[in-house]
Copies of this chain bind each other. A is one copy, B any other.
Amino acid sequence: MSRPMRLGEMTTVEAAEAVTGSPVVIIPAGAFEQHGPGMPLATDQIRAEAVVDRVVTALGGRAVIGPALPVGVSPHHLAFTGTVSLTSTTFAALVREYADNLHRHGWRKVLVVTGHGGNNATLTTVAQDLLTTHPDLQFAWTPVTALAAEVIAGMRVGEVHGHSGEAETAQMLFLAPHLVHQDRLAAGARSRADLGPLAGLALRGSPPTLTVRYDRLSENGVLGDPRRATSEDGAAIVDAVVRRIVAFVEEWLTT
């Protein structure tokens, strides 16, 4: 009988076998933050978990799903009700303690898949700090949507798109359509002309990097036009993301 692919659904006896049988632990990280008038606060977590499920399934037992990180670093969305954000310090402590405990049990490869870009920097600082404290642990992390840049480039996206826009909405239409209120989807800024000077500067797409609160970027919290999203595009994005991560893990397992 096959072992479950979620560590949380294993017994401790099964977990002990998984340390050698499934040497990679993959942790989904999301956010609990506004996604405009039509999508739910848990959007990033839902996408991360769906991707991780597909990745672990594809890896056929060589990886297990670790404990989730359902809340991320989202101070830029705090002006929108419902957003719950961790400080970067607390999010880092959380990831570090997950990694330390898995390492204690014998795992040496931990991968965090984050549906929320606001977690990227903190995940990098954790990776840096672990080099000193856990030199024999290999810690990797990856965003979701960014892995499908080529697919998105082939979609009909506007000049400005991003948070709660075409690509995120497409993924949600494919993965959790019951949580997308298509009738309430509304566009935010779609072209650079729609942006004020500060938002224009913050969204140039190249450094210097200016971090700005989302309520100063977009009145409804959206960048781009989610109404253009289709479930088909979402499937293509998810598929590309999963393939990229699976390819990485397969190469990783040979190192």
Contact = CB atoms under 8 A, between A and B. Distances in A.
Contacts of A232: none
A15 B128 contact: no
A84 B67 contact: yes
A240 interface: no
A68 B70 contact: yes
A102 interface: yes
Q: How large is the interface on A (under 10, 10 to 19, 20 to 34, 35 or more residues)?
A: 35 or more
Interface in A1-56: 4, 6-16, 18-19, 32, 34-42, 45
A217 to B, nearest CB: 12
A237 to B, nearest CB: 15
Interface in A79-98: 80-90, 92-94, 97-98
A127 interface: yes
A192 interface: no
Interface in A128-155: 128-132, 135, 138-143, 146-147
A143 B207 CA distance: 7
B87 A142 contact: no
A208 B129 CA distance: 18
Contact of A208 (B38, B111, B122, B221): B111
Given A75-B129, A93-B90, A213-B131, A66 B84 contact: yes
Interface of A: 4, 6-16, 18-19, 32, 34-42, 45, 66-68, 70-71, 73, 75-76, 78, 80-90, 92-94, 97-98, 101-102, 104-106, 111, 118, 120-122, 124-125, 127-132, 135, 138-143, 146-147, 179, 181, 184, 197-198, 201, 206-213, 221, 244-245, 248, 251-252, 254-255
